[in-house]
Amino acid sequence: MEKRELMMRAIELSENSVKNGGGPFGAVIARQGEIVAEGSNCVTLHNDPTAHAEVTAIRNATQKLGTFDLSGCEIYTSCEPCPMCLGAIYWAHLDKIYYANNRKDAARIGFDDDFIYQELELKPEDRKKPSEVFMQSEARKAFDMWQDKTDKTEY
């Protein structure tokens, strides 16, 4: 399939999601022009705030391919990924992101991902969501164990 067809499928998924009670977002993961997996926004359908279209597509692709590493694949999404989805895309090692609407478009219809992007630029103590470092020395043991582990699967 060509890029245009893949993006049209992501857009179609976003429209179908709205019709079925989900959010207006769709995503397609492809490898060499062939669809590997698809996803649409299922946040309200599954009561899962992480069930964004991109995350759903990544979950579907990793299950289908049997790997957490989606190198060699690209994602086509109906909207610029939010910070959570962007992080998931990087962790999944997708090669490229194509998106249609941008985060300003999403903000205009009530999805203010741009707010989270702005929060990420702040020091933790300056963010609107309070956070505090707590029991760091106790938690360090797991990190030390990981660092010393010789048979770990790095990701």
Q: Is 54 a catalytic residue?
A: yes
Compute the distance between CA of residue 5 and CA of residue 17 in angstroms, rounded to an integer: 18
What is the residue whose two structure tokens read 């086509």?
Answer: 76
Neighbours of 103 (CB within 10 A): 20
Catalytic residue among 34, 38, 54, 138: 54
Helix (H) or strand (E) holding 13: helix 3-19
Please, where are the H alpha helices in 20-152? 43-46, 53-65, 83-91, 103-108, 113-120, 136-148
What are the catalytic residues?
Answer: 54
